[in-house]
Structure 1
């Protein structure tokens, strides 16, 4: 991982490691914490995810890169940030069944969140972003922060509007192949971690919801055989599929009300992912449950089935 986003840090591994004055660059689930209820919900969700995956949880707070005493390590603003992170650390440890088995790292970083999180995405297992509310305000906030990560991050990004429910399926909306492959594989793993079923939502589009009248796209090209192929890595996961017509975002929003997670991709247009990317941007704005967005490079790396190991490594939920 690039170290540019980690300069001027006052950080420590709070659990399971000594205070080394730096952040372990290994894969972890990263979540920004600013004290808001949305950020705390995101941290709670991220802690549960980190415990299930058995990877560290990294809580980050950003302070402005201002050259004033309060903003320097040891200054008033830094001390307040450390107190905030300690509160968040205690909160998330109280939410997981076995807190002694969850490594929580905290760090106060000077810099801009968007730039630093994008750099962290080069090695992170997952970046989690919290948001709250709905409507115009949420769209504005997402447009300036979370959507930038959704478009540009190198690792998956989870958008969390609320902590989520403990029951219900994982949803995997698919439109075409091979863009569907990493979505299905990530969905399988997410369902396995949650001990629940995967609901594959196949989108049937006579006319794309975002296309002008007269434009035709063939129905979903994802077959039962292709779904079964992706299931081989998690044969114990129960899989159901439904086909929806019309506006896919509206249909998936209805399903998401009773779901634990929606897994979607932003696949490259060259690999049949243009419609999937547009759908992802709608879902992160409107879905009530957490949405896990896979980066475009994940789907590109799949090719046409000849690089399955690359898919398995990069499509982890």
Structure 2
């Protein structure tokens, strides 16, 4: 059975954008779309029954409105709704277990258009192994018309096994019939900072070597997805900043998720963190740890 696309809905403009983006993705994949809403305080005994009923009605209305909107835009799409009871992040992560993709809405910020990652989105990201796409309001297609897809930008770490990340990016590019641009950032070993005589040729040689490694890493997927036009860039500097810059003209940005554990809890790696907070395009986060 083909996996469906799940979208978290809460009645906000951000979740409406996520529902529209998720519907378009489900149509591309030719799979059903499932709209879900998690009601946290339905399970609390301290909430009076009238309050619970009102929350239930509001959730049903939010789901019905989102379903009506996407059905109007995609008449042939199989759309279902589900109201969940429990902590939103845990409920969404559990609901996503049998989904092919989870889509969440996120709020744009300031002049550098990007995301405000709320606690629910962040907690869901670290709790699920399902690919997650975060969408903000401006990413929602206005009409279900034929769309000319642009470029997918992929952040690659040549020092990590990233099969799931690469497969997701190439499949998305093949599905859309668009180009894929792979980006990797590198830096000189710290020992060169203390070298009394620095030869610029050493830096150029490292750059050439990294470019070859990136090309070698992509080669199996080039053969597996021959219809996908692929370019790659290896440059000196932080990968996150380059991905944010590239996202300005991208249809989708794809990054891997590596969890960092500290005494303060679990958090995302620096590249995913930078892209999620500042990229202008939708961002797909793929677990590969």
TM-score bracket, normalised by the shorter chain, equals 0.7 to 0.9
Kindly tell me: are residues 90 and 143 of structure 1, through their superposed partners in 2, closer, same or farther at Cα, counting changes over 3 Å?
A: closer
Give the helix-richer structure, 1 or 2.
2
Q: Does residue 1:251 correspond to 2:227, yes or no?
A: no
Deviation at 1:260, TM superposition (A): 0.5
Matches of 1:164 and 1:103, distance apart in 2: 19
In the alignment, which of 154, 158, 165 is matched to residue 133 of structure 2?
158
Equivalent position of 2:224 in the other structure: 233
Equivalent position of 1:149 in the other structure: 124
Deviation at 1:178, TM superposition (A): 4.1
Kindly tell me: are residues 95 and 104 of structure 1, through their superposed partners in 2, closer, same or farther at Cα, counting changes over 3 Å?
A: same
- Output aligned runs, 1:1-317, within 5 Å: 27-63=3-39, 64-65=41-42, 66-67=44-45, 68-70=48-50, 75-96=53-74, 99-100=75-76, 102-134=77-109, 142-161=117-136, 162-163=138-139, 166-206=148-188, 220=210, 222-267=213-258, 277-297=269-289
Kindly tell me: are residues 139 and 149 of structure 1, through their superposed partners in 2, closer, same or farther at Cα, counting changes over 3 Å?
A: farther
Kindly tell me: are residues 131 and 110 of structure 1, through their superposed partners in 2, closer, same or farther at Cα, counting changes over 3 Å?
A: same
Matches of 1:196 and 1:30, distance apart in 2: 24
Kindly tell me: are residues 235 and 71 of structure 1, through their superposed partners in 2, closer, same or farther at Cα, counting changes over 3 Å?
A: farther
Q: 5+ unaligned residues in a row in structure 2: which ranges?
A: 142-147, 195-205, 261-267
Write the deviation string for residues 152-186 of structure 1: whole angstroms up to 9, x where unpaired: 21211111123267532101111214434332221
Kindly tell me: are residues 113 and 279 of structure 1, through their superposed partners in 2, closer, same or farther at Cα, counting changes over 3 Å?
A: same
Count matched residues. 253
Give the strand-richer structure, 1 or 2.
2
Q: Secondary structure at the match of 2:173?
A: helix
Matches of 1:167 and 1:248, distance apart in 2: 24
Write the deviation string for residues 34-53 of structure 1: whole angstroms up to 9, x where unpaired: 11111100111011111111
Which runs of 4 or more aligned residues in structure 1 lie more than 4 Å from their structure 2 counterparts after TM superposition? 138-141, 218-221
Write the deviation string for residues 11-59 of structure 1: whole angstroms up to 9, x where unpaired: xxxxxxxxxxxxxx98321111111111100111011111111222111
CA contact (8 A) 1:142 1:285 kept: yes
Kindly tell me: are residues 26 and 199 of structure 1, through their superposed partners in 2, closer, same or farther at Cα, counting changes over 3 Å?
A: closer
Deviation at 1:190, TM superposition (A): 0.6
Computed over aligned residues only, the root mean square deviation of the Cα atoms, in angstroms, reads 2.8
Q: 5+ unaligned residues in a row in structure 1: which ranges?
A: 1-24, 270-275, 298-317
Write the deviation string for residues 251-295 of structure 1: whole angstroms up to 9, x where unpaired: 1111101000011112479xxxxxx93211221111110110111
